[in-house]
Amino acid sequence: MSVAAWRSIKGQPEDAPVPKIRRYLGARQKGYALTGCHGCRYHASVLYKNEVYLFGGQQGSQVFLNDLWVLNAETQTWKELTLPNGPGPRCGHSASIVGNKMYVFGGVANKVTNKEMWILDLGNPSKRIVLGSLLCH
């Protein structure tokens, strides 16, 4: 019987997710170590093929994020995806994979709960597109 153990992902700190707020402040500003998502919490993540997609979240008490990061599980390297027309900043949302699509639902930003469902087509890496949103009642 094997025992599971945590291990650090190589590729940190230079290419680890740095939420937008840290980029605005200067990621290497005194007091901030580049060791990961810098307190990013309440994000959603999904596994698709050999990649982990991490979307959104909250940093501190008032900063809501809409970054989309991908961790390649084989190379253990991070990459930020910037796609037009995506969901706004949020935390506390959920995400699922169905087929080759990533579904992101709900979340909260600035004390406002949203009921949107966003769909991202992951099927063709060179043509990742946001398919749009649905308002759920």
Cα–Cα nearest to 132, from 64, 121, 25: 121
Q: Which domains can be identified in the chain, with CATH numbers?
A: 20-135 (2.120.10.80)
Higher per-residue pLDDT: 91 or 11? 91
pLDDT at 44 over 80: yes
For residues 92 and 115, what is the distance between their CA atoms, to the nearest angstrom?
Answer: 12
Amino acid of residue 137: H
Tokens of 133: 């949103």
Per-residue pLDDT band at 85 (split at 50, 70, 90):
confident
Q: 95 near 74, Cβ under 8 Å?
A: no
pLDDT at 22 (0 to 100): 46
* Residue 125 φ/ψ region, left for φ over 0, alpha for ψ in the -120 to 50 degree band, beta for the rest: alpha
